Amino acid sequence: MINKVVKDAIEATKDIKDGMTLMLGGFGLCGIPENTIRALVDKGVKNLTCISNNAGVDGFGIGLMLEKRQVKKMISSYVGENAEFERQLLSGELEVELIPQGTLASRCMASGYGMPAIFTPAGVGTEVADGKETRNFNGKDYLMEMAFEADFAIVKAWKGDSAGNLVYRLTARNFNPVMAMAGKITIAEVEEIVELGELDPDHIHTPGIFVHRIFQGKNYEKRIEQRTLRERI
């Protein structure tokens, strides 16, 4: 097997440079690559275009990169409650492209599947359709949406092995598998690197061929955005 293991997030991100386009997995704060984001903040790399469903919150996730003005453009479906994000957007420091969530996922998927574009009905007749080719199939209109091109995809999985095979846990899976397939270089951080053979080949979510670098992260905070509970009766 080809060994993809690198020491840590610093080594994994060593050639990420100013102006690059990054995909970052996660939905809200669930399943985000915490270690790699911290390394990018410490590294201070700037003018990044970030493709990520959300933009973190103040003081956590991509919110940390926003605080250090490292992000030039966000491509997201929902940017939620983030005061620093809002301030930068209104002041014109940050460019934001909002796209439908399914379109975001499918543009990642297209990239990973080696397809240049997809057709989706999402956004037909809305401002999302502005400037895009529309095609009619069987009486219904669809927008042509292009596959993303990302220099790096950065994903978070639960377990992985040295071959780069990945397994995700619960809804922390979200965008991670499609983004893992879509990066020119894919970095995977995992909670645990297990011995080769420990992951059942039938149960692997992302085959190692898509992963170029893998490392075991540490000190996962896994912050919860909305702690909703049920009363014990």
Rule CB under 8 A: which residues touch other proteins? 27-31, 53, 76-80, 86, 89-90, 98, 100-106, 108-109, 120-128, 158, 169-178, 205, 222-230, 232
The distance of closest approach from Cβ of residue 198 to other proteins in the complex, given in angstroms and rounded to an integer, is 20
Nearer to other proteins (CB atom), residue 1 or residue 224? 224
Nearer to other proteins (CB atom), residue 26 or residue 208? 26
Q: Could you give the CA distance from residue 232 to residue 223 in angstroms, rounded to a whole number?
A: 24
The distance of closest approach from Cβ of residue 73 to other proteins in the complex, given in angstroms and rounded to an integer, is 14
The distance of closest approach from Cβ of residue 33 to other proteins in the complex, given in angstroms and rounded to an integer, is 14
In the block, tokens 């895009």 appear at 132
Q: Could you give the CA distance from residue 156 to residue 141 in angstroms, rounded to a whole number?
A: 36
CA distances from 75 to 15, 160, 188, 205 (A): 22, 28, 21, 25
Q: Which residues pair with 157 in a beta bridge?
A: 190
The distance of closest approach from Cβ of residue 95 to other proteins in the complex, given in angstroms and rounded to an integer, is 13
User: Hey, what are 17's tokens?
Assistant: 């440079």
The distance of closest approach from Cβ of residue 176 to other proteins in the complex, given in angstroms and rounded to an integer, is 7
Nearer to other proteins (CB atom), residue 65 or residue 182? 182
Report which of 173, 176, 161, 168 is spatially closest to residue 215, judged by C-alpha positions.
161
How large is the C-alpha radius of gyration of the chain?
18
Helix (H) or strand (E) holding 43: helix 34-43
Nearer to other proteins (CB atom), residue 138 or residue 228? 228
Nearer to other proteins (CB atom), residue 70 or residue 174? 174
